[in-house]
Structure 1
């Protein structure tokens, strides 16, 4: 390739073979050419031209045209001209971005798309929930397929290792409730009712809700990261090739571990929350532990414990299904894994709060 400049125009003389074997170097050299108003490409000494070389010339012509210049081909054989024209027609056209519409119809369209996407997401979660129950029924009919070791391992991970953070959180919540409640009730001389405030708040709502939020943050992300990384490495495809069902091997032990451990964590949170409240009431209000226990037994119905713990299995199903579903949506790159992990945490926490609100409305309607 010999570039030259003549009066009034820039001339590029090509020599030899312009084929797939040389197109990489030719394309790099053509990319180094300075923009000009008119470029003449002399093909007189080109002995061979294939589609790869024609693509390099078409790409050069497109770049010059885009910058306001022109390109002319000289001494081109009929076969080469026909090949170059075919490549020009086959070159993809760049599509401009559609204009951003601001009218009312566009707003309705975006709302509709969001609603449809949300409905599709809920249907997918429902499908994964149904898949869990189907596999649970299958292992109940065929106990030999159940993986007890995986269940114990996941129960330790989602339950035992979460005990310290859950217990500390519940203890501090009890301390805060007692301190803030005593500051308000002291104005009316009703300090003793701080026991009722702590007991009802923790046993009915805060104990299990905050526990579920903590578990959603650490467990939903762990499920998504584990299953998503397996999908990235194509281990799930390998499991299917070996005749193993991913739902039975991956989903069932994880969700069952949550179903078993979340009520236990809820009980631990209730006990630690009451302990923190009792300690703060003793320090700040002078309510002795025996008086706190007496007031707790007399003024708090056992139904509050039932209302709190009955939510635990539902929260466990939500967290487990969301985490497993997000893991299966991971693509083949690390960016997708990070995005789905964060989405799983946000979705699980939001769904837990919505479910808790629905439980509150339901229990209020039935007078419980």
Structure 2
């Protein structure tokens, strides 16, 4: 039966105000007048349901709520309406709908404990991903014809060649900043010429490869996570598995190898450009000729500083690529997960790189390369 839910305020036989409801009082019709019913002002002595053509639980709940709010009686109810009203008469909605919140001194340790407990899932996932990656490498070594050389070349271009402009600009500016700030501090001791030592050692040993890893994490690590994550959402990864193509071999291995191979080159390039930036500062601020600055680098920077940077670079590339591919392969659910996993890939990649760099610093100091 069609129709709309209506109401009318009329005068009762006893002189009181009667709220007469009419039409179907169903979940599909009551929304149009629910706000008006909630705004009715009393006093209302009775609620008449005689003209209600249909009623369901929501309609009965509305009548019961109105009766409770105005301390009114319900009259003219049909047999069905009486049964529903009888079932709902003891239901109250005054209870709090939000769960009680723990005090902060309990809530914070509990949240930290849950994070630590959930961290083990991440550890298990990373270990499992590393195992799958090793299996994929072993499989490709047994069957070299399955290796996707074109995919590797494409990733080498994206990770390495396409990153040269931004990494070059960043490194040049960093070299300028290091030389300028270092010269200001060394001038207090009359040792401005040691700016060459400062720029050469810190760029070749630390900042060149470290800043490059951070840039690669923000640029390529995020791209790995977004690309693979989108393929997971569109079920392309599942389709590859269905037709017998290993996603690890086709998607992950080329990206891992590209990052490992290109990071030493990018790190050396970054350090070189940073030294050039420092040489410009030496030319215009310190009175050190440009070519003299560059030639002095060979005399004051030990060769093992270069090897330290080149040894760390492929490790950083592996970490960044692993973070991006791991989080991309774990995308599930909806498109929001792609953004979340991409952010996690960048954050975890940069964090892991800095932690590993600290371990490298201690290790190389212990072996006499400090």
Question: Are the counterparts in 1 of residues 8 and 20 from structure 2 also a CA contact under 8 Å?
Answer: yes
Q: Which runs of 5+ in 2 are unaligned?
A: 11-15
2:56 aligned residue: 54
Distance of 2:350 and 2:187 partners within structure 1: 35
1:221 aligned residue: 222
Distance of 1:255 and 1:310 partners within structure 2: 17
| Stretch deviating more after TM superposition (230-239 or 135-144) | 230-239
1:365 aligned residue: 366
Matched pairs, number: 355
| Stretch deviating more after TM superposition (126-135 or 158-167) | 126-135
Question: Are the counterparts in 2 of residues 158 and 261 from structure 1 also a CA contact under 8 Å?
Answer: yes
1:348 aligned residue: 349
Tell me by how many angstroms 1:132 deviates.
2.1
Aligned pair partner of 1:13 in 14, 22, 35? 22
Question: Are the counterparts in 1 of residues 61 and 88 from structure 2 also a CA contact under 8 Å?
Answer: no
Could you list the per-position Cα deviations for residues 284-339 of structure 1 after superposition, in whole angstroms to 9, with x for gaps in the alignment?
A: 33333554344322322211111111111221122112222333444444433333
1:76 aligned residue: 78
Please report the TM-score for the alignment, with normalisation by the length of structure 1: 0.81
- RMSD between aligned residues: 3.5
Distance of 2:313 and 2:121 partners within structure 1: 26
Could you list the per-position Cα deviations for residues 167-192 of structure 1 after superposition, in whole angstroms to 9, with x for gaps in the alignment?
A: 12212222222222233333433333
The answer to whether structure 1 residue 188 and structure 2 residue 197 are counterparts is no
1:160 aligned residue: 161
Question: Are the counterparts in 2 of residues 14 and 41 from structure 1 also a CA contact under 8 Å?
Answer: no
Could you list the per-position Cα deviations for residues 214-273 of structure 1 after superposition, in whole angstroms to 9, with x for gaps in the alignment?
A: 111111221222222223333333333333333222222222211111111111112212
1:320 aligned residue: 321
Tell me by how many angstroms 1:207 deviates.
0.3
Distance of 1:160 and 1:77 partners within structure 2: 80
Question: Are the counterparts in 1 of residues 57 and 84 from structure 2 also a CA contact under 8 Å?
Answer: no
| Stretch deviating more after TM superposition (106-115 or 333-342) | 333-342
| Stretch deviating more after TM superposition (159-168 or 178-187) | 178-187
* CA shift in 2, pair 1:71/1:306, >3 Å: farther
Could you list the per-position Cα deviations for residues 130-152 of structure 1 after superposition, in whole angstroms to 9, with x for gaps in the alignment?
A: 32222222222222322222221
Question: Are the counterparts in 1 of residues 331 and 337 from structure 2 also a CA contact under 8 Å?
Answer: yes
1:34 aligned residue: 37
* CA shift in 2, pair 1:289/1:104, >3 Å: closer
Question: Are the counterparts in 1 of residues 203 and 275 from structure 2 also a CA contact under 8 Å?
Answer: yes
Distance of 2:229 and 2:111 partners within structure 1: 30
2:13 aligned residue: none
Q: Which runs of 5+ in 1 are unaligned?
A: none
* CA shift in 2, pair 1:348/1:130, >3 Å: same
Distance of 1:188 and 1:158 partners within structure 2: 43
The answer to whether structure 1 residue 232 and structure 2 residue 212 are counterparts is no
- SS of 1:310 mapped into structure 2: helix
